[in-house]
Amino acid sequence: MAVANPTASTDVEAPGEPELNGFQKAAAVWRKHYVVRRILKSIVTLFLVTTVSFFLTRLMPGGPIDARVAELMNTQGLSRQDALNQVASLLAFNPHDPLWHQYLSYMTGIFHGDMGESLVSPGTHVWTYVFSYMPYTLFSVGLGLLIAFVFGIMLGVLIAYRRGGFLDHAITNLSSFIHAIPNYVWAILVLVVLGVNMKLFNVTDVRGAHSPGVNPEFSFDFFSDVLYHAALPVTIYALTSVGSWIIVMKSSTTQVLDEDFVTVAKARGLKEGRIRSQYVGRNAILPLFTQLALAAAAVLGGAALIEQIFQYEGVGYYLIDAIQHRDYPVMQGFIVILTFATILANLIADLLLSRIDPRIRTEG
């Protein structure tokens, strides 16, 4: 009978970890890093929207040549051939090139930060339009959303503490009614009823982003004039957004009021004001900050109709103008900028929410 050698080693060498290939390493990074996932998804989304918008603009009936030729024939009385020759000399690209060639040229320019030049105003870069009119859109949208957020928070907390009362039912029903009607309908009603019928303001005077002859500068006169012209769009943005903030804040506050830590705070005899501000208000408002970025993206994306109705010269107004004139570079530039702002707002909201609730970072 064989006897085992007591000096022999009984340890079994464990097999080493299998080396991961490039794809597996990328998959591991994708699973572990939530921020990397969100940023890559945002980049892919922006690329897809840019590509789709490029081809959709060229599927529209008519084209930049037809629109420009018709305009020259009507305004300057040129023959069709003379108008064609003049338009061909002004275009910064050849519209008869294959679509794939135009697409590659456009994407190459995008990666180099060049969005091209306007077809209607040759020599004017798209970035000139963006830098000239984007501040007015951001100002009106931002101010309207801020007003709606502040009043929505205040009224939401108020009716949450008075659940079931007359004030609760009145504000909740009114908020639902206002929120249910599209913002462009409210804009038309304000313009027709208050401006045309009741003559509470001069419809002609409020057009534009600022009064003629007023130069953009850091002065009280300029800011007051800009605020006067932005008053109607700001009112519509605030009016149509405040209802949702009231309802959301009421729901969030009601949920926090039923938490155990609020009951304990009351049992400890803390003052009601301290409980409202430090225990209820702070916890109820925290989830709403993530929704604020999403709301800003939604309002910014829908600003085109409001600016067109009030003739407010922001990005949305000139986007509609570019569509009417088939100004491809300006159309695509505004769409890319608005898409980028929307994606960035969604990314910020996702990252903020992941910091508040770490469970989100473990999603598949």
Has residue 29 been placed in a domain? no
Q: What is the pLDDT of residue 148?
A: 92
Q: Please tell me whether residues 340 and 263 are part of one structural domain.
A: yes
Asked if the model's pLDDT at residue 236 lies above 70, the reply is yes
pLDDT in tens, 348-361: 777 776 676 665 55
CA distances from 290 to 193, 249, 269, 285 (A): 36, 13, 33, 10
Q: Please tell me whether residues 102 and 217 are part of one structural domain.
A: no
* Higher pLDDT, residue 80 or 319: 319
CA distances from 154 to 157, 205, 223, 255 (A): 5, 34, 28, 16
Rounded to the nearest 10°, the torsion over CA 274, 280, 281, 287 is 150
Band of residue 1 on the pLDDT scale cut at 50, 70, 90: very low
Q: Please tell me whether residues 151 and 291 are part of one structural domain.
A: yes
Asked if the model's pLDDT at residue 67 lies above 50, the reply is yes
pLDDT in tens, 10-34: 444 445 555 655 656 656 656 667 7
Q: Which one, of 116, 142, 153, lies nearest residue 333 by Cα?
A: 116
Asked if the model's pLDDT at residue 40 lies above 90, the reply is no
Has residue 30 been placed in a domain? no
d(CA 239, CA 179): 8
Asked if the model's pLDDT at residue 59 lies above 80, the reply is no
CB 84 within 8 A of CB 69: yes
Q: What is the pLDDT of residue 181?
A: 86
What are 243's two structure tokens?
């209802």
**Domain stops at, among 111, 137, 168:** 111
Q: Please tell me whether residues 198 and 261 are part of one structural domain.
A: yes
Band of residue 9 on the pLDDT scale cut at 50, 70, 90: very low
* Higher pLDDT, residue 21 or 257: 257
Q: What domain count does the chain have?
A: 2
Comparing 60-69, 86-95, 233-242, 331-340, the range with the smallest average pLDDT is 86-95
Residues 128-155: b if buried by 16+ CB within 10 A, e if exposed? ebbebbbebbbbbbebbbbbbbeebbeb
Helices and strands (H and E) in the chain: how many? 15, 0
Has residue 37 been placed in a domain? no
Has residue 21 been placed in a domain? no
Band of residue 2 on the pLDDT scale cut at 50, 70, 90: very low
d(CA 63, CA 78): 19
Comparing 8-17, 118-127, 171-180, 266-275, the range with the smallest average pLDDT is 8-17
Q: What is the mean pLDDT of residues 182-187?
A: 89
Q: Please tell me whether residues 286 and 202 are part of one structural domain.
A: yes
Percent over 90 (pLDDT), the chain: 6
* Higher pLDDT, residue 298 or 175: 175
Has residue 280 been placed in a domain? yes
Q: Please tell me whether residues 135 and 80 are part of one structural domain.
A: no
Q: What is the pLDDT of residue 64?
A: 64
Radius of gyration for the alpha carbons in the chain, expressed in angstroms and rounded = 29
At 232, which helix (H) or strand (E)?
helix 220-257
> Which of 61-70, 196-205, 210-219, 227-236 has the largest mean confidence?
227-236
User: Where in the sequence is the domain holding 292, given as residue range(s)?
Assistant: 127-362
Percent over 70 (pLDDT), the chain: 81
d(CA 333, CA 320): 13
Q: What is the pLDDT of residue 109?
A: 83
Q: Please tell me whether residues 51 and 166 are part of one structural domain.
A: no
Q: Which one, of 306, 311, 315, lies nearest residue 186 by Cα?
A: 306
Three-class DSSP category at 6: coil
Has residue 51 been placed in a domain? yes
Q: What is the mean pLDDT of residues 265-290?
A: 76
CB atoms within 10 A of CB 319: 25
Q: Please tell me whether residues 275 and 337 are part of one structural domain.
A: yes
Residues 217-248: b if buried by 16+ CB within 10 A, e if exposed? eeeeeeeebbeebbebbbbbbbbbbbbbbbbb
Rounded to the nearest 10°, the torsion over CA 136, 137, 143, 145 is 180
We report the CATH number of the domain holding residue 279 as 1.10.3720.10
pLDDT in tens, 303-338: 888 988 898 988 888 888 888 877 888 888 888 888
pLDDT in tens, 128-172: 888 888 888 889 998 999 999 999 988 988 888 888 888 888 998
User: Mean pLDDT, the chain, as a whole number?
Assistant: 79
CB 34 within 8 A of CB 360: yes
What are 284's two structure tokens?
């109820």
Residue recorded with tokens 């890559």: 40
Q: Please tell me whether residues 246 and 293 are part of one structural domain.
A: yes
Q: Please tell me whether residues 281 and 358 are part of one structural domain.
A: yes
Q: What is the mean pLDDT of residues 178-188?
A: 88
Three-class DSSP category at 121: coil
Q: Please tell me whether residues 136 and 107 are part of one structural domain.
A: no
Q: Which one, of 215, 212, 210, lies nearest residue 225 by Cα?
A: 210
Q: Please tell me whether residues 319 and 344 are part of one structural domain.
A: yes
d(CA 287, CA 182): 25
